[in-house]
Structures are given as structure tokens and as C-alpha cells.
Amino acid sequence: MIKEITSRILNPDEFIENQIREISNTVGDGVAINALSGGVDSSVVTALGHRAIGNRLKTFFIENGLMREHEPEQVRSMFEDIGISVEIIDAREDFFKALRGIDDPEEKREAVTQTFYKKVFGKLVRESGAKYLMQGTILTDVDETVAGIKRQHNVFEQLGIDPEQAFGYRIIEPLIQLRKDGVRLIGKALGLPESVFKRIPFPGPALAARIIGEVTPQRVEIVRNATAIVEEFLKDTGAFQYMAILHKDRVTGIREGNRDFGLQIEVRCWDSVDARKATPTRIGFDILEKLGSAIVNQVPGVVSVTYHIATKPPSTMEVV
């Protein structure tokens, strides 16, 4: 049983100090490795780890082909600005090959996990000689994985899987007692830029979690376009998270007087404190209408746009 540290009782400086000490003690004079996605969890882990063991933490950004527009370059340059160097690994082919033909959400997450750990990251770890893997697992990931709602890519011990035996390295999860709001406080206390510690959550399987049905480069490109539009329109809402989802269902539409059997994009925008419960953000129809028009006009093939209006539960934040 993991002991939760709520954001109300969290003392950020003390927490950081404790974690730095613990990481240093664990790794000793060894080498650790971590994968940075640019999300708040992995960014905070990256900053914590570098505080603790400096350049003996090797930080990689895995370009899996599932990230948002310009994301790999933006993340690297942001960390360069605070003196942390990040290496980008192009693994797009591996991921798309693993995802080919997969429709089921759980199998999809599993394909991303397995490709990440066994193929791409496992190879990096072996080559680096690192025996320690740092990860941004938070308590909500553990809850949802244990409940069987979602298979998070970074919760092995809770499932009775020994990562050392299964993958050859020991996992360090400094944020596992926190929820998202606590992680943001730590990010702020570490001096990360606001764009990082206030960054909206983005899932482990990245845009693959925003696609119903098969994940192909073409379908990722569609949801990537829609995501850029949604993020631009909704960035000032103050919402917890917002996203575009590509449906598999096709719907009837009409273009220049002719029938167009096209695609549907679903927009979700959530108000939430810690992702355990969430309600749809009350966005004005001025914005919703412009958003709908922008998506149908700028994303080829899309004829229909919806806005999610149910709460979590029984919905989840992501669709996959």
C-alpha cells in the first residue's frame, strides 16, 4: 500500500530534498536512465533526477511518431534552456509496426508499452549500461492500473511484475505518492518554467490514446492536426486537460452539394483537480462553434465535430 501525500499536506522543498537524497542513495555512483515525454510527470522526474545525480541521468525523448506537432524539438529546446540535455531517438517505424492492425484499446496500450520497454528503451538501457530507470508514475496511475481501468505503461510492481526480472533494470518512481496537483507544486518548486509545470496532461501512449480503431501514420496525422487546433482554441480556458479524438465510425456529411462519408472528431475538455473525477468545462458556444468550423475546414476528411458532455465517472479522461 502506497502512502498518499495530498497536495494539502505536501511540503515541496522537504519532498524534493528527501527524494534527491533517496535517488542518490539508490543509484550510488551508477548510471540511471529516463524517458522524457515533456509531460509534467516525466519533466519533474527529469529535473529531480538531474538535481540528484547530474549527468549520470541519461534523458531520452523517444520519437514514437505519436507525439503532437513539433513536440520533440520543443521539449528538447525547453530542457536545453535549463541546462539539461535530451537525446531524441527516432523509433517511429518500430511503433507503427507494432500498432498495425490493432483495434482493441488494451492491446493498443500494450503494443506501445511493449515496444517502448522491450524494444526501444530496453535497447537504450542495455547500451547505456544503466541499471536504474526513473519514471513519473503517480498515484492515480496506480489506482487505475490496479482497478484494471487502464494499463499504464509504468506500473509494474503493483501488477506483480518484477521489472528487473522482466526487463533487466530497477525502477525508481519518486512521484508515486503524489497526484497531479502535487506534482505541479514540485515542478514549480524545482524552478521549471510555468509552461512545463502547468502543462496539461498528455497520455503515455500519446496520440494513440486519441484514436479509436487502428493507429496508422495517416490517422495520427489527422488527430495531430485536430489536436493543434483544439489546443490553440482552448489554451485559455484554464481547464485541466483538453484533447481531440478521432473516431473510427464514419458519418454522413455534405461537401459542395455532394455526399461525403467522412470522419468525426470528438473534443473533450475537463475540469478536474486530480483526474479522479472530472466534469466537462463550460465553454461558450462562440468558441465551440468556431472550434467546430476550424476543425471541419482545416482537417481533411472531417465532416462532424462533437463536444463531450458526460462526467468522469462513468467516462474516463481519455477514450482509449
User: Closest approach of Cβ 214 to a copy of itself, in Å?
Assistant: 12
Burial profile 278-313: b = 16 or more Cβ within 10 angstroms, e = fewer:
bebbebeeeebeebbebbbeebebbbbbeebeeebe
First CA to last CA distance, the chain: 27
Nearer to a copy of itself, 81 or 249 (CB): 249
Q: What is the dihedral of CA 15, 195, 209, 163, to 10 degrees?
A: -30
User: Closest approach of Cβ 157 to a copy of itself, in Å?
Assistant: 20
Nearer to a copy of itself, 148 or 160 (CB): 148
User: Closest approach of Cβ 212 to a copy of itself, in Å?
Assistant: 5
Contact criterion met (CB below 8 Å) for 41 and 56: no
Nearer to a copy of itself, 216 or 306 (CB): 306
Nearer to a copy of itself, 53 or 291 (CB): 291
Cα four-point dihedral sign 11, 14, 16, 21: negative
User: Closest approach of Cβ 109 to a copy of itself, in Å?
Assistant: 10
Residue 278: phi, psi to the nearest 5? -155, 150
Nearer to a copy of itself, 171 or 317 (CB): 317
Nearer to a copy of itself, 35 or 295 (CB): 295
Give the binding site for a copy of itself (CB under 8 A): 105, 147-150, 212-213, 247-255, 257-262, 266-267, 279-280, 282, 285, 288-289, 291-293, 295-296, 303-316, 318-320
Nearer to a copy of itself, 9 or 147 (CB): 147
User: Closest approach of Cβ 6 to a copy of itself, in Å?
Assistant: 19
User: Closest approach of Cβ 317 to a copy of itself, in Å?
Assistant: 9
User: Closest approach of Cβ 245 to a copy of itself, in Å?
Assistant: 9
Nearer to a copy of itself, 11 or 252 (CB): 252
C-alpha distances in Å from residue 140, one per residue of 99, 180, 183, 266, 274: 26, 8, 12, 24, 8
Per the listing, cell 496539461 goes with: 200
C-alpha distances in Å from residue 261, one per residue of 48, 93, 226: 50, 30, 18
- Cα–Cα dist 61/279, whole Å: 32
User: Closest approach of Cβ 270 to a copy of itself, in Å?
Assistant: 13
In 3D space, the residue among 121, 127, 120 whose CA is nearest the CA of residue 93 turns out to be 120
Residue 35: phi, psi to the nearest 5? -105, 130
User: Closest approach of Cβ 201 to a copy of itself, in Å?
Assistant: 16
- Cα–Cα dist 76/257, whole Å: 46
C-alpha distances in Å from residue 68, one per residue of 41, 106, 207, 216: 17, 22, 7, 15
Nearer to a copy of itself, 81 or 236 (CB): 236
